[in-house]
Amino acid sequence: MHTRRSFLKTGALGLSASAASLVVPTSLWARPRYILGANNRLRLGLIGCNGMGFSNLSAFMQQEDVEVVALCDVDRSVLERRQADVVAGGRSKPKGYSDYRKLVERKDIDAVIIGTPDHWHCRQLLDALDAGKDVYCEKPIANSIEECDRMLMAVQQSGRMVQIGQWQRSQPHFVDAISFVHSGALGPIRLVKAWAYQGWMRPVPVVPDGPAPEGVDYDMWLGPAPKRPFNPNRFHFNFRWFWDYAGGLMTDWGVHLIDYALYGMQATTPKSVMASGGKFAYADDASETPDTLQTVYEFDGFNLLWEHATGIDGGNYGRNHGIAFVGNNGTLVVDRGGWEVIPEVEHESWRQLRDQPKMEAIPLQAAAGGGLGPHTLNFAEAVRNRDASILKAPISVGYHAARVCHMGNIAYKAGKRLFWDDGQAAFTDPGANALMGATYHNGWTLK
């Protein structure tokens, strides 16, 4: 059993869980079993080979009955490097594409991994479903509430297997923590906190526009996003901090952590939301999304508080990220390193007892295994069995988490408390509703 002190010293190693840290080394990939029948093999195509896209593929490659058929990336240098990585892992060289539509039209691909920036997820998922593919789609599912709505409807009507990359749903200690929350031992829960304080994140320096690097199909990278000159800040990893392509830390980390807050409370939609924040730490850097944000969601019987900050690690309970369920008897705190319960105490004014705990403390239950491998295996099993009921993060899970996160960003942009009309599936504020929509550019349309 790890102590809390030792965890805080050494357990932070995996807390940021960057895409690089989630890549399974090729030495651990399983060797393919080509003697299996066609019905046993899972033939994959990957769209978006940098970051989490390849992390997902590398997790799938631990399964010996998975075959990599094709890769797609708009950056030729990334594509060629990932083709070489697949070969180094003992697999045949997959076909390479710069246009994802050429990949999804292939008849020999069973399932597609979507690992592109957020503004591409919706259109690529819809096209993959139209082509009869099952889909493993990175989170957040989309860059707007309108796109989330379209994706939910399309998946429900398709009969295809769709797993969202919220892999904490498959991480054992998170499941154990939520089982404890659901046991009722914490007593009535009045507040849930979720936060991401990311000390590794530094300012995004202002750099001039310029030509796209050789081998980059920049027009395809932009796709439905507004036409802009190429700028290195908006490309690859840093796209997350620009509204055209993503929603900042709220949708990057928020979908993971707010998802578990919703799961623990068995809730989906808030009654109201308000947010306050801004570029308080790095006012003059190139990013657009807030580096500091507090968002309060009102649900029936409890509030959910989201906080994020870049450049500092001083989060709640000594953790740089996590979820805390604050109950009358105690508080359960969980993050990627483990979970614990901090008991409340009775005070003299209540029962004439001083410092009597209302429940037993539970020391840190350290994480015993990762979530990405089991999550990809769960998707593969659902595909082979044609059973969506076993998916750990089906489209509904991704939908509710992404929608709540987008609500928070809309409240931040609106600068006021917003009320949600569940019957109309809209805010009561017309200006806020205008921010739910998706606007496609450059000849691309939302199908």
Domain ranges of the chain: 12-169+373-394, 172-368+399-434
Q: What is the pLDDT of residue 345?
A: 87
Q: What is the pLDDT of residue 52?
A: 94
CATH superfamily label, 12-169+373-394: NAD(P)-binding Rossmann-like Domain (3.40.50.720)
Q: Please list, in sequence order, all residues whose beta carbon lies within 8 angstroms of the beta carbon of residue 99, skipping any fewer than 6 positions away.
A: 72, 217, 220
Q: What is the pLDDT of residue 447?
A: 79
Q: What is the pLDDT of residue 35?
A: 45
- Look at residues 109, 133, 112, 130 and name the one whose alpha carbon lies nearest to residue 38: 109
User: First-to-last CA distance in the chain?
Assistant: 52
Cβ neighbours of 425 (radius 10 Å): 13
Q: Are 43 and 109 in contact (CB under 8 A)?
A: yes
* Architecture of the CATH domain 172-368+399-434: 2-Layer Sandwich (3.30)
Q: Are 272 and 417 in contact (CB under 8 A)?
A: yes
Low-confidence ranges of the chain (pLDDT < 50): 1-17, 35-36
Q: What is the pLDDT of residue 152?
A: 98
Q: What is the pLDDT of residue 8?
A: 38
Q: What is the pLDDT of residue 222?
A: 98
Q: Are 19 and 51 in contact (CB under 8 A)?
A: yes
Give CA–CA dist 84/74, Å, rounded: 16
Of the CA atoms within 13 Å of residue 323, those in its CB half-sphere come to 26
| Inter-CA distances, 85 with 25, 46, 178, 214, Å | 10, 13, 37, 21
